[in-house]
Structure 1
Amino acid sequence: MQIIPAIDLKEGCAVRLRQGLMESAKIYAKNPEELARHFESLGAKFLHIVDLDGAFAGIPKNRAVIETICKDSKLKIEVGGGIRDEETIKAYLDLGVSRVILGSIALKNPEFALQMAEKYAVVIGIDAKNGKVATEGWAESGGTLAWDFAERFRGSKVEAIICTDIARDGMLSGINIEFTKKIQDKSGIFTIASGGLSCEADFAALKEAKINGVIVGKAFYEGKIDLQKAFRTFK
């Protein structure tokens, strides 16, 4: 099971939100570059970065920070937030990002996402409120069911799906395993759980459910888990 620590960027700082609300942002590090190096020292192989400002604006807003992290670490980095066109995808990959996350644009234009996955390392981000896909930095929620959307990518070149239950994100209330498992089963694609990890027992539950990976955010920042131990135990 892949354990992937997360850095969410807002105005150049590493923050965490509650249920995707920008006004709830709590700053955990004013130097995300040092934080990335710390994750690497603990044993991380992967890093999940979200440009929160970019997600709302629809264009990258924290590129300089991401570029520095790419240069300073050997981590395999996935980046999401404000990626809406091929030019931005290519620009991020040229920086040294390992793969890009398509969210809002994938829902609006699934064919574009599928085409990009044929050419580049693409991950689909599926963020859901009450089971329905949300977009534009989680500010908008439509009528598309998350698992139906996930099934759209079955058999494609998409490398992974990251699925988030927004109601649990930043709440330390536990991963929605049933939701994640349904996405994994419907898509047949490597699926990474996100939103709500609260303690080490959650890792065990995810592994028992044969979930492929998990994003670690607030539980680390609030000292609820020993990340170094988790890398050793649940790899």
Structure 2
Amino acid sequence: MVCAGLWSAASLWAGWHPRVVVEEASRGDEGLLLEARRIRRGAQGSGDDGLSLRPMAAQQLVNLSRRCESPEVKAEILFDASGLNAARGELRLALIQCMAASRLARSRRRGELELEAAHLERRLGLLDAAGRSYLRLASEGDLFAPDRDDAAYWCARIAEDQGRTRLAQERWRVLARTAILPQRRLVAYERLALSFCGDGLIQEARGVLQELRSALEPQSKALTQQGKQLLQTYDKCTDRINQALSVHAK
């Protein structure tokens, strides 16, 4: 049966990623979702009590997932277990559970969980694996645009951190020109310009700064709340680029 209250219930206990795409659940699975919410709430405290409850709560969620009729509901409850384990530093166990959840999920939700798994791979220091995951999700993943941009951002960051400067620069340039959120574009433009400065490519860095201004200055001057917020980030980014240019151009 279609569970009319599933979205509102699930939103209260969903894991790190806020969207939950389960649209149908049996009455039994709806009860399991509510039980999962109760377990999570009991383990989410920031004090010692919450921390001490997380291992037991995570195992309770795993046990709960085994009773699910729907693979999608099972995926969400496993993802919650993964989130609790990640919060207590058990990243490998969290990764195993997150990957298991992603295999059960459908379409876009699968991509969201695969993105969370890539974040866990990165946090574990598995940079090659994380880089491959991010690249696939950025180019092929069934994700909403901000999530796709997040994957593309980490593609560039990992290449940069691994010393693959030219590849990182290419990825920063693509993200700067294609990201859906202007704040993400600003970050990409800044990192590209600073990378060029670090390589002594001052003319290239100046070209990036000019492109940034042409692309985003009009949006930053919009008389809206978003425009005001963007202007603050815009000013900080351009100031840092100008400072780097003044240092490296000497």
TM value normalised by structure 1: 0.27
Question: Which structure carries more relative contact order (alpha carbon 8 Å, separation 6+)?
Answer: 1
Tell which structure's C-alpha radius of gyration is larger.
Answer: 2
TM value normalised by structure 2: 0.26
> Higher helix fraction: Structure 1 or Structure 2?
2
> Higher strand fraction: Structure 1 or Structure 2?
1
